[in-house]
Structure 1
Amino acid sequence: MEDIASLRKSYEKAELDETASAADPLHQFQLWFEQALQSQLPEPNAMTLATVGDDGRPSTRVVLIKGVDARGIVWYTNYGSRKGRELAQRPFAALQFHWVELERVVRIEGRVEKTSEEESDAYFHSRPLDSRLGAWASPQSQVISSRAVLVKAAAEAAVRHALNPPRPPHWGGYRLVPDAWEFWQGRKSRLHDRLRYRQVGGAWVRERLAP
């Protein structure tokens, strides 16, 4: 195995300057996200979601962004999952996008709320049939004896709901309402660019952080 400590990379693809960045972090995110899409990166919509449990221990997992606008960033999941249970107790989270090929990271923090029933219904019914049945079949984050449990539950859901399964009551959307954003652009000699946006009195303040 190669010596992990010796792994190195020089970041030299782009720069991030205060005068060339958007005054609104949402606009800056939309610009970078569009560039990630145009670059045809693998799963540019994948983001790491961090939550905290009752014991104070953080946990992370990768989820997919399904919406972004002035209200916040949306994803969908099982409300009974570990992340769902932790958000019910502590409705704050952090998100991170890592676009390796562009040498970019976006970090977002804020409070989390559930999306409306109408939003969750609309997105659920836009999903492929097997994904909708899977939402009924999986007791997410619970211990199961084997994969056969999931296969059997999915088959039972298909028999019960046929081609039009309704949205399960335990499944729906979350929206993170940002109060802090950070945009990281890799630079040579580890002198990376870091711009943080934070809310002060309802307005966004942009400031540079040391790398």
Structure 2
Amino acid sequence: MKIIVIGATGRVGSNVVEKLSKSHKDEVYAAARHPEKVPVHDNVTPFKLDLSDHMDDIKEALPEADAIIFAAGSGGRDLLKIDLHGAVKTMEAAEEKGINRFIMLSSKGSLSPDEFGNSPLENYLIAKYYADEWLIHNTHLDYTILQPTALVEKSGSGKVTLGSYSTNENSIDNVADVLIGLTENHAGAKEVIEMSTGNEPIPDAISDLN
């Protein structure tokens, strides 16, 4: 499977690329503003992608692929330009390029705007809300939106809850495994999936989505 990872040098994206680099069945295209920072692997091809560029430039940069995992973000520094507009331009480019499968890493509560005012991440959630809404209502992409709780730097347990929340955190390791599982198994299509650390092995949790 040919998979594009957008945000390949970020906290989640780099973990996804590292895991996919060990796969014998996947060909990985790692998109980053600084592709030279992507570790070298036999099945990983880094390429330059700047989400602040024009949509046509993003489309030109995208290689032919079966799926996109969108794990990019500005870290709160440029929410409108990157987290919202950059995501939307990538969706438009994917459609024009014929890359139909689009897995979006989002956040808990991103589609619950009435609750934004109670969150310290209000501006981030607003950006994610409009990006997710665009993906659902303004594209024909075969999307999955993953909504994890808070991301933490812990070793992955390999066990999660999908479809509801049982804890307030997710290891980045687990999130990367779930993103890969959703992509490789074509699971959760046209769904918004809540995620937290839980008690179900990741392969079983993903299988239950189908």
Of Structure 1 and Structure 2, which has the larger fraction of its residues in helix?
2
TM-score between both structures, scaled by the size of structure 2: 0.26
Of Structure 1 and Structure 2, which has the larger fraction of its residues in strand?
1
User: Which structure carries more relative contact order (alpha carbon 8 Å, separation 6+)?
Assistant: 1
TM-score between both structures, scaled by the size of structure 1: 0.25
